[in-house]
Amino acid sequence: MTMRPSLRKFALTTHVTFSVGWIGGVVVYLTLGVAAVTSQDTQTVRAAWTAMELTGWFAIVPMALASLLTGLVMSLGTKWGLFRHYWTLISFVLTVLATVVLLLHMRDVSFLAAVAQEAEGARLEELGGDLLHPGLGLVVLLVIQVLNVYKPRGLTRYGWRKQQEQRTVRQP
């Protein structure tokens, strides 16, 4: 089943908006992490951790979930399908993986943001920032973006079988 062109364009626009928003949120989060690592000012470190928690829960997590959902709608409602092409399957798996890691990691972010509010001196300096998760997450999101733009060739076994079935049906 494929969507009507106007619905497909709307769904694609929505998906791209959430996906790019997710990437933007991660860039902001990464910037705050750098500020927390490089700053000597305790107020800046506290503010950075508070902002990382807020950005994570109220921007990145909703964008990730919306991107996952709209990507699923796009794959199931277009000719690409979810299991027909390797690039759609890899994009979906990477998106699910990134979303799960994000949700698990946000518990730690909330804990560390609470610690940052109470910590003083050396203990606050030990917190540093959060660079590894958002850095790797950004790389994964950019890989997904490249896959979705370039759409490398390659049918899965399921996709090849479906293509053969369609050819058989079309031939008299």
> Is this prediction's pTM over 0.75?
yes
Domain boundaries, the chain: 5-170
Which residue is associated with the tokens 């990145």? Answer: 60
**pLDDT truncated to tens, each residue of the chain (172 aa)?**
689 999 999 999 999 999 999 999 999 999 999 999 999 899 999 999 999 999 999 999 999 999 999 999 999 998 888 999 999 999 999 999 999 999 999 999 999 999 999 988 777 778 878 899 999 999 999 999 999 999 998 999 998 998 888 888 877 6
Buried residues in 37-59 as b, exposed as e (16+ CB within 10 A): eebeeeeebbbbbebbbebbeeb
